[in-house]
Structure 1
């Protein structure tokens, strides 16, 4: 009996300090990470905005180009996943490459970025569901009522087993993908006034003042593919599954969204897509769908538009909960967060913390909403737009930093020559991502739909800058005051095993000085 328990526990500190292994396979992991991309929400929300606000007719080509860039990023990122298995993902990779202080900064940025993206979806989810309840059932409820219900539902699911979460995400994702594919087929079968045109893939269509902001919007649509590494400790064969899912997710999202944005383009006509997108806004997909299928199909699409948002919220919630767990386990956050539920093996306390923070975020925007019923200002123009753009900027910053960390990690291990193609790919991707960050910060007023020079255009991106500074300061304080905690940032379960080995060595050889700081050099 005791032997079985020993095999089950992967850290010497006990079962409650680890995530339950082998809970999710390649298929479940792929569904979980792609759900964060919210295919129907991107098709109905992001694509019309890119067409209308930025005036970029070549959006399908943009998805293809950024798909290539993120594939380059994935070569190094996926290879890193074979060597580091940690629910902290981004911050763990950055810590192993650039050091514990940089890792601490990345951990703060990750919490802010992924939380912001989850908060954003609560806003548009509440607004859309409130509108559907009013339209079909005659129930007039404020947007924050369904948003708060969603906070509770997502929190409950976050407490449960990850394999159950994967099933919920999988069903919702497959349905919304099917709805988009049906529309794509109808659009190509019944094209708009310009016929079945390939004009959207002409490089000349990428010119225009809105290109920089379109880059940020488009890359935000990919967010989710990088989350496979977060589940490494819970997958079977993580050294294979994480890398495989990362590439599959990037490829799927790039092709799916390139095809869907082309279908929208064809359905409206390349010559009319910009004007029609400005007129219809997020209703563009549904208006084009109703012309081809009628009201019943469009109503069903509206419903799965909402459930797709729920799937994305659950996906982001699971990711933030695991980041909080990893940080609690390593001493970056209170130790209580580094414990899991005995029943499900899920990071229950990290999930509870994220639910509480989500509740506060929704409540804050609800209390400051003085607009009439049905007005989108607070839930969509503020909560969704502000937080969504802040979150996207933070994730792009993390990807750029991770690209640098991958290069340093393998160079320090003496594997630069063996890993040269991957390191070159990481360097190219990192440079492009930094350029996108520059564009995003410079044009943040366009992303917000605000006037140039407005306070929000520097306050909101400044939140990510502030997170970086706070994280760096925190890391430096830990290095000076709690060096043993700083030394194990990014090591995860491995740190516990190193501590155990150090204690055993100290017990047998009192003069031994081996500790986590020395062990970091050996392990990395």
Structure 2
């Protein structure tokens, strides 16, 4: 470590607790954004009446994944999260590969959300206040807000996210109550909760779109260096987040079919998109409630932007600290403890991509948001699959301890198989994530982004093993073991 950075390197331990991690994780999933964007798109694209149950099914798979993930979190505490898990279980080169996939996936969803943010803010300002501005103006304002918050104290970020999350969850609850209280045809239909309707036509598209709603599950481990009790907090927060989001999304998706009528859910969603949610509220609760919920829809996207921004900044910090990426990325604020350089780097990258889409005259939602969301979904599922396999590898070398067979072997092995199946479904049905009329080559080009990132990371990991063995030996170890001994370096080279 250089002298110039010695005084300003290191995240602040003890700032966060279980509640904070739940807020970060659920905020990244953005419940109101999922309802307004994800659920309506799911019905519009698939026509699957039982799509609501897909959230329960996927939450069950992720709960199995969380068993091994939570068990390994007792032994691994690193802001690089999945990167450190994969390095510890599948080898250091695989860990570097996973880190590149993570950077591609989380940058993709974070930057793609600027397109959605710019579009929804632009529509709101034009409709309610007559202020007409291009979408990218609002996107850049959002980028400045997120960039400013990203270099402040992490507990302040958690407070902001907590307020926004509570408000948007309240808005979703209002929608659910209004929808279930005003069913189409005068009676509440249970067709949306019938498993027979889920396992029908359109299941592939439903799973492909549904898994994207759980992006951000890694957030708990990303902040493990800043919590008071990482051995328990990460696991507890992960279980709570999976259970809450799975149940909440399923209830809301079903409520939409009740309000429109199951037979009309696809037509209503395809015709109005997110507006079907606000239309239901305006009809049964009044325009004031609808407008307030729309405003919270905007803040929901902002909360997701902030959560993913913080996650990317910490990944860059972890990789800079271990010298996998340039060392300047490990600098944190002296007063705030925030990963300042990583935060600024992510903001500059986001600015560059947004400007590129503006210059290319691409649509902010159909292109920027949809394309990059698809890239992220593939990358995150791939990361979770590798992480589950890494849990098995990690505990094979550590037979002793407090972790039982279910946690160390059965659950992570089962999760690996299940997640790989979801990954195949997602890739095969990737065109379901694209708007009608999109170029056909995007169906293989966009998923290929994460594959290219992973191969580039693997190649870089092998280069480090050959040319910088001391750096390679410390991959995935975090702050406590940054300096490898010569013996460790020799073992790493021969691994």
Distance 1:209 1:191, change over 3 A: closer
- Farther off after superposition, 117-126 or 273-282: 273-282
Aligned to 2:46, the other structure's residue is in SS state coil
Structure 1 segments unaligned to the other structure (5+ residues):
1-12, 370-376, 503-512
Counting only pairs closer than 5 Å after superposition, residues 286-325 of structure 1 correspond to structure 2 as: 286-325=278-317
Task: Tell whether the 8 Å contact from 1:73 to 1:429 is kept in structure 2 after alignment.
Answer: yes
Find the partner of 1:207 among 194, 199, 207.
199
Counting only pairs closer than 5 Å after superposition, residues 422-441 of structure 1 correspond to structure 2 as: 422=407, 423-441=409-427
Find the partner of 2:214 among 200, 209, 222.
222
1:135 aligns with 2:120: no
Q: Which residue of 1 aligns with 2:381?
A: 396
Q: Which residue of 1 aligns with 2:274?
A: 282
Count of residue pairs the alignment pairs up: 489
Aligned to 2:77, the other structure's residue is in SS state coil
In 2, Cα distance between the equivalents of 1:259 and 1:179? 14
Task: Tell whether the 8 Å contact from 2:96 to 2:458 is kept in structure 1 after alignment.
Answer: yes
Task: Tell whether the 8 Å contact from 1:120 to 1:385 is kept in structure 2 after alignment.
Answer: yes
Task: Tell whether the 8 Å contact from 1:60 to 1:261 is kept in structure 2 after alignment.
Answer: yes
In 1, Cα distance between the equivalents of 2:347 and 2:436? 30
Counting only pairs closer than 5 Å after superposition, residues 35-54 of structure 1 correspond to structure 2 as: 35-54=27-46
1:446 aligns with 2:432: yes
Q: Which residue of 2 aligns with 1:461?
A: 447
1:198 aligns with 2:184: no
Find the partner of 1:421 among 406, 409, 414.
406
- Farther off after superposition, 443-452 or 401-410: 443-452
Task: Tell whether the 8 Å contact from 2:30 to 2:300 is kept in structure 1 after alignment.
Answer: yes
* Deviation readout 1:247-304 (Å, 9 max, x if unpaired): 0000110111111111111111112212222222221111111111111111111111
Counting only pairs closer than 5 Å after superposition, residues 334-483 of structure 1 correspond to structure 2 as: 334-369=326-361, 378-415=363-400, 418-422=403-407, 423-450=409-436, 454-483=440-469
Structure 1 or 2, whichever has the larger Rg, is 1
Task: Tell whether the 8 Å contact from 1:107 to 1:471 is kept in structure 2 after alignment.
Answer: yes
Aligned to 1:169, the other structure's residue is in SS state helix
* Deviation readout 1:148-203 (Å, 9 max, x if unpaired): 11111111100000000000000000000001101111211221126212221211
Shift of 1:456: 1.0
Aligned to 1:36, the other structure's residue is in SS state helix
* Deviation readout 1:281-328 (Å, 9 max, x if unpaired): 221111111111111111111111001100000000000000000000
In 1, Cα distance between the equivalents of 2:419 and 2:225? 28
TM-score with structure 2 setting the length = 0.95
In 1, Cα distance between the equivalents of 2:199 and 2:389? 30
Structure 2 segments unaligned to the other structure (5+ residues):
none
Q: Which residue of 1 aligns with 2:57?
A: 65
* Deviation readout 1:110-145 (Å, 9 max, x if unpaired): 000000000111001000101111112211100000
Task: Tell whether the 8 Å contact from 1:410 to 1:416 is kept in structure 2 after alignment.
Answer: no
Task: Tell whether the 8 Å contact from 1:39 to 1:176 is kept in structure 2 after alignment.
Answer: yes
- Farther off after superposition, 34-43 or 53-62: 53-62
Q: Which residue of 2 aligns with 1:184?
A: 176
In 1, Cα distance between the equivalents of 2:338 and 2:10? 9
In 1, Cα distance between the equivalents of 2:490 and 2:50? 51
Task: Tell whether the 8 Å contact from 1:77 to 1:403 is kept in structure 2 after alignment.
Answer: yes
Task: Tell whether the 8 Å contact from 1:445 to 1:451 is kept in structure 2 after alignment.
Answer: no
TM-score with structure 1 setting the length = 0.90
Distance 1:51 1:489, change over 3 A: same
In 1, Cα distance between the equivalents of 2:489 and 2:221? 24
